[in-house]
């Protein structure tokens, strides 16, 4: 009985050691496979970043432009007042009025004369072209970047909220249409926080001016 127990103990130890060696061999093989094909992981970094196709680049925006494996072509580029940008090899390109993905395609076409398969990524790093103004009885009146789906309530919060004597029921937006016509959109804050007229909390558009009397 003692002999059989001793045999079983040695057999179990042998199985454990063999299993450990097999796992180690598999791990080593996996590491070697990555070492032999280093591009397999690096290529993941070249994947395109999703864009908001609704955003249109404007003057004074700052764009982060990167070209895969081309560090000299990877930089932050401001959009000039004439709506154009300038890049090495590419020269000048119209940026204003285009989405980031449209500009990517334009840059890619230009670079094909110099690079076999250029991979270009354009990201809006700073939004300076889309702004709104808020004036009157708020803590921080001024001009602010319009970076998302900003509502009137968002804009008031960005401006630090109302001052003590603000007429919260008389807030309004001045908005110009493309033909130059100016319209006035009212917002009753007191009614809104009571759950009334929630549709008045509309989204702010570029160049809107919010007046807090």
Domain co-membership, 194 together with 153: yes
pLDDT of residue 149: 82
CA-based nearest residue to 96, from 74, 128, 66: 128
Is residue 204 domain-resident? yes
Is residue 161 domain-resident? yes
Is residue 173 domain-resident? yes
Phi-psi region of 51 (alpha: psi -120 to 50; beta: other; left: phi over 0): beta
User: Cα 135 vs. chain centroid, distance in angstroms?
Assistant: 28
Please, are residues 51 and 124 in contact by the beta-carbon 8 Å criterion?
Answer: no
Q: Longest C-alpha distance within the chain, in Å?
A: 103
Domains in the chain, number: 2
CATH number at residue 190: 3.10.560.10
**Please, is 51 exposed, middle or buried when counting C-beta atoms within 10 Å of its C-beta (0-12, 13-18, 19+)?**
middle
The structure's pTM equals 0.54
CA–CA gap between residue 110 and residue 98 (Å, rounded)? 16
pLDDT of residue 87: 93
Is residue 10 domain-resident? no
CA-angle at 152, arms to 150 and 154, nearest 5° = 55
Name the domain boundary from 126, 149, 173: 126
Domain co-membership, 122 together with 168: no
Is residue 21 domain-resident? no
Is residue 1 domain-resident? no
CATH number at residue 68: 3.30.1950.10
Name the domain boundary from 126, 149, 177: 126
Is residue 8 domain-resident? no
Domain co-membership, 115 together with 68: yes
pLDDT of residue 39: 41
pLDDT of residue 83: 93
Domain co-membership, 88 together with 161: no
Domain co-membership, 71 together with 136: no
Name the domain boundary from 94, 126, 158: 126
Q: Specify the 3-state DSSP secondary structure of 35.
A: helix
Q: Which domain holds residue 194?
A: 131-212
Please, are residues 65 and 73 in contact by the beta-carbon 8 Å criterion?
Answer: yes
pLDDT of residue 178: 74
Is residue 14 domain-resident? no
pLDDT, one tens digit for every residue, the chain (213 residues): 444 555 555 555 554 455 555 444 444 444 344 344 444 343 433 334 456 667 889 989 999 999 999 998 999 999 999 999 999 999 999 999 999 999 999 999 999 999 999 999 999 998 888 899 999 999 999 999 886 689 999 999 999 999 999 999 999 999 988 777 899 999 999 999 998 888 899 999 988 999 999
Domain co-membership, 137 together with 72: no
């Amino acid at each position: 009985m003692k002999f059989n127990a001793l045999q079983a103990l040695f057999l179990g130890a042998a199985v454990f050691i063999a299993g450990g060696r097999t796992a180690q061999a598999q791990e080593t093989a996996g590491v070697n496979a990555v070492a032999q094909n280093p591009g397999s992981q690096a290529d993941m970094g070249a994947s395109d970043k999703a864009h908001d196709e609704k955003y249109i680049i404007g003057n004074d925006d700052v764009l982060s432009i990167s070209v895969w494996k081309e560090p000299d072509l990877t930089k932050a580029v401001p959009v000039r007042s004439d709506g154009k940008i300038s890049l090495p090899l590419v020269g000048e390109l119209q940026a204003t009025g285009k989405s980031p993905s449209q500009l990517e395609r334009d840059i890619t076409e230009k670079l094909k004369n110099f690079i076999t398969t250029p991979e270009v990524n354009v990201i809006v790093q700073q939004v300076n072209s889309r702004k709104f103004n808020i004036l009157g009885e708020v803590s921080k009146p001024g001009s602010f970047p319009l970076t998302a789906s900003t509502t009137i309530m968002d804009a008031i919060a960005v401006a630090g909220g109302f001052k003590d004597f603000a007429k919260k029921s008389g807030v309004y937006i001045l908005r110009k249409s493309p033909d130059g016509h100016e319209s006035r959109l009212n917002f009753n804050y007191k009614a809104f926080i009571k759950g009334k007229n929630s549709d008045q909390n509309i989204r702010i558009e570029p160049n809107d001016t919010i007046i807090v009397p």
